Chain A
Amino acid sequence: MLNRVTVENVLNESLARGGDFAEIYLEDKITSNIKLVQGDIKDSLSGRDYGIGIRILDGTNSVYGYTNSPSEAELIKLARSLSLSVSGGRKAQPGSFEESIHSGNNPIKIQLSTVEKKEKVELLKRSYLAAKEYDQVISQVTSAYMEEEQNILIANSDGLWTSDSRSRVRFAVSATASLNGELQQGYYAPGASMGYELFNYVDVAKVGLEAARIAKAMIHADYAPSGKMPVVLENGFGGVLFHEACGHALEASFVSKGTSAFGGKLEQEVASKHITAIDDGTITNGWGTTNIDDEGTPTRKNVLIQNGVLKSYLVDKLNGRRMGLESTGSARRQSYRYPPTSRMNNTYIAPGHMSLSDLIGSIEMGLYAKNLGGGSVNPATGDFNFSVMEGYLIKNGRIAEPVRGATLVGNGIEILKLIDGVGSNLKMGQGMCGASSGSVPVNVGQPAIRVSSITVGGRKEE
């Protein structure tokens, strides 16, 4: 890592020509990825990411630079070149550091790098066999094991000196079914911020089976219908609806610039009264959990919407300055290559009281979306999309035949008011979320919910 004198010198140089705040972010990360294709290891790759980012804030303007070199001379050189972009003369001096360490959100029992690769390869093989033997229709299985141990150091001119150690592990299986020249895929990829003990809770054979089950269901399915209809989104990754329809637009990076559809709506009713939505960076071992955010602020549980009323945005330091708000511990970045900005951690809709059959029972004709894929949003308009990976028609209050993937589209402001039923079975799903500060791990979650009307992008036969 870096010693305090070096860091102090770098921060001092950063503020020499202007700016009121300077920060240094060091990242040292080891990763290991193993990929198994049809039972053979095709790629095994490991290595080390290492870099340092320096940020200067001058009011609401930000200057950022990064390098791989930890030498004091190189860092001073970078700080000087950055400081040339800030004007007005010296406004601040770095204060003396006070170390503050937050820990405990992600307890680890077995450190990932201490487990032999051989054992990880065995997991991959087990998942492959389970998926392959599920059904004759399964033609291809790819499984991947991914781990990383990220160590970060954050120090700033306000005297903060903090560090965090983040261990993440994920196991993904993608199964392909093939029939009459057509291909359909199923995918399942649980992950957590924890150690190798993840595999005491996750049975990799079941991961393989789940991917194969989805692929088989979809190869025998017809196209999804098209047009507006009621949709029930299953628990877990169904939370992608809130993530896209509302979550991104609550990020201060958009709100502070007046380019969010949810801007200026604090304390207003923005969703149906069934909706309480939370972003919580502290859930034990959650895929999107950290002890501190990437500006060094401890993460916390932020209630975003309570019974339909907007309560909070997701705020980082820089955008907080624009909005006159304190950080909510939501500053994140993929790596030292990005300045941090406000992002989601583990975002979910709180459980209600309905069962899945209650939600489906009243629907004459609609769609039951059992497994969801990713999506995107234009935060300024609120127009969003996300994809259904595994769907079924709902006919006369019952789940009927399977239908293939389709994209659902809508507008965030409108759709939150159309959620008219919330189930009781809260569950989280793991995903990677991409935005201006890179790709970060997030949980999306919810109990099963019902949307009274949303556009389903299926297709009509010619």
Chain B
Amino acid sequence: MMDFNAFSSLVFAKGKYRLNEMEIFYSSRKTLKIEVFNQKVDNYVVSDTEGVALRGVGSDGVGHSYTERLDEESAEMIVEEACQNGKFTDSNERPLFPKRYDYPGVVRKKPDEMKEFQTEEKISMMLNLENEALKLDSRVGKIQMCIYEDSHTVRRLKNSKGLDLEEGSSMGYVYLSVVAKQDEDISTGSSFRVFKNPKKIQIEKIAREAVEEAVSFLYARPVGSGNYGAVIRNRVFVDILEGFIPAFSGLNAQRGLSFLMGKEGDLIGSPEITIIEDPFMEEGHCSCDFDDEGYKTTKKIIVEEGRLNGLLYDSVSSGNIGSSSTGNGFRSSIKETIGIRPTNLLVEKGTRELNKIIEEMDSGIFITEVAGLHSGLDSVSGDFSLQAQGFEIVEGTLGRPIKGITISGNLIQLLKGVEEVSDDILFGIPGDGCFGAPSIKINSISVSGD
């Protein structure tokens, strides 16, 4: 195996006479995962991996290849594969790789607080978390998941125009899910925290949130089918927003695969809804100065008081409309070609507390959890139908727990029905982007139940 500098030089040398332009993307990742069960470390996983992706522009078109082995044979292989793959692609879509230019530089060179925390401390924190959760309520006797995971990633980008960029980041999360049981009824509850510095985590709070949620869902039953006024909890709104992100891709809109196509400038939500992408947020876990093509990231208001200002673009999709990349070209992994996604995306919070909003409602439902997002949510049509649970709202207070229902609708209809936004913004566990949202009150949602 060789290091990245040697490997990339070899690839550039081998590709020089066969490809007009080349871009090499490198990613390395170190991870640690600790799972605790019955006061023991039940599963412990460490990793140290790297990989390289090549995008090559030949005379016929653009070809992609990758390898997780960095040796001479693989350098040969990825050049050959990129050449072969380029023979069939549509030649109109040649990316023009950027030269080096000034990046905002806001994100880089922050001290990595994660390193101050030793493995033993992480393990004892998780043992404490499990222990704490098990002693809070006699009905909670089983832990479903008690997981710690942190990761350190480095990405590097070199292209044949002389660009050479590097950026690293660290993050971690703790996730707890517990099982409550009373007689024959079983329910679960969960809680999580995403962090840069694990020392700031309050274990007792995570334990209490998960346990209280599990216990509160004992004997949950469906409500009758119909349309209900509703409050959607921040965590659920984050999930729904994240699920619909492909619809905000300029490329999907160009391809007729998004219900937002042609809606730039239109109202797609109530005036309460403002959605911002901010790559430079201090607390953002997806903050970065450049995207995976080397374009600089930009802060932008995507939806402003209900109006869709614009979509997200990479080099290819922006080239299609004669404009420039918005810095949203990212790879999910070296095994994926460039896709379009936001960095940190958040719905602006309101001014009032969640319980004040609920207090003013005569009746309705409070949706606290949804499931089946990968299958029940269609980012092409905007429709969703999701398994849900929550509580009845009766005269301003939370009533009996509800499960075994679905909520259905369309994203635009949902956003247009937003009457109030609360002040409780929450960020989810980062995936392809980081998503944050507050709880919202909506005029009506269609529920299927008994």
Contacts and interface: CB of A to CB of B under 8 A. Distances in A.
Contacts of A261: 186
A37 B337 CA distance: 14
A45 B411 CA distance: 33
Interface residues of A, number: 84
Contacts of B144: 257, 259, 380
Interface in B69-117: 69-70, 74, 77-78, 81, 84-90, 93
Interface in B57-76: 61, 63-70, 74
A68 to B, nearest CB: 5
Contact of B51 (A68, A375, A386): A68
B386 interface: yes
Contacts of B37: 257
B124 to A, nearest CB: 14
Interface stretch (A206-214, A418-426, A441-449, A451-459): A451-459
A43 B374 CA distance: 23
A458 B384 CA distance: 10
A78 B144 CA distance: 29
What bracket does the count of chain B residues touching chain A fall in? 35 or more
Contact of B67 (A48, A70, A383, A455): A48
Contacts of B372: 374-376, 385-387, 407, 409
B179 interface: yes
B90 A381 contact: no
Nearest to B92: A40
Given A257-B142, A375-B372, A457-B448, A48 B77 contact: yes
B68 A49 contact: yes
A103 interface: no
B188 A380 contact: yes
Interface in A30-51: 31, 34, 37-38, 40-51
Given A117-B84, A460-B227, A460-B446, A43 B89 contact: yes
A455 B47 contact: no
A380 B186 contact: yes
A458 B42 contact: no
Chain B interface mostly helix, strand, loop or mixed?
strand
Interface in A250-307: 257-259, 261
A82 interface: yes
Given A376-B375, A380-B188, A455-B406, A139 B385 contact: no
A38 B255 contact: yes
A85 B450 CA distance: 51
Given A50-B68, A140-B255, A458-B385, A376 B374 contact: yes
B375 A375 contact: yes
A41 B89 contact: yes
Contact of A68 (B46, B49, B77, B86): B49
Contacts of A378: 188, 371
Contacts of B222: 455
Contacts of A387: 372, 375-376, 385
Contacts of A339: 43, 45
B389 to A, nearest CB: 8
Contact of A409 (B47, B142, B405): B405
A51 B86 CA distance: 27
A40 B90 contact: yes
B87 A406 contact: no
Given A376-B375, A455-B222, A81 B142 contact: no
A64 interface: yes
Contacts of B51: 68
B449 interface: yes
Contacts of A78: 46, 48
A50 B446 CA distance: 48
Contact of A227 (B53, B67, B256, B450): B450
Interface in B239-276: 255-257, 259
A409 B78 contact: no
Contact of A374 (B1, B334, B374, B449): B374
A462 interface: yes
A373 B375 contact: yes
Contact of A60 (B42, B179, B336): B42
A373 B51 CA distance: 33
A48 B406 contact: no
- Give the most central of A42, A67, A455, A459: most B CB within 10 Å: A459
A71 B1 contact: yes
A235 interface: no
Interface string B314-338: 0000000000000000000011110
A226 B380 contact: no
A386 B375 contact: yes
A45 B337 CA distance: 7
A144 to B, nearest CB: 12
Given A47-B65, A139-B256, A387-B375, A381 B186 contact: yes
A129 interface: no
B289 interface: no
Interface string B414-450: 0000000000000000000000000000001011111
A62 interface: yes
Interface in B18-58: 37, 40-51, 53
B151 interface: no
Interface in B203-222: 222
B387 A50 contact: no
A410 interface: yes
Nearest to A82: B46
Given A185-B380, A226-B225, A405-B385, A41 B448 contact: no
A45 B385 contact: no
Given A41-B89, A44-B89, A373-B375, A67 B49 contact: yes
B256 A34 contact: no
A227 B88 contact: no
Nearest to A49: B68
B404 interface: yes
B26 to A, nearest CB: 12
Nearest to B74: A48
A337 B255 contact: no
Contact of A404 (B40, B89, B143, B383): B383
A63 interface: yes
A340 to B, nearest CB: 12
Given A47-B81, A68-B69, A380-B179, A63 B44 contact: yes
20 contacts: A41-B61, A41-B90, A44-B63, A44-B88, A48-B67, A62-B43, A81-B46, A140-B256, A227-B225, A261-B186, A376-B371, A380-B186, A386-B375, A387-B385, A406-B448, A409-B372, A409-B406, A455-B449, A457-B385, A460-B225
Give 5 closest A-B pairs by Cβ, nearest first. A457-B406, A47-B66, A226-B448, A44-B85, A459-B446
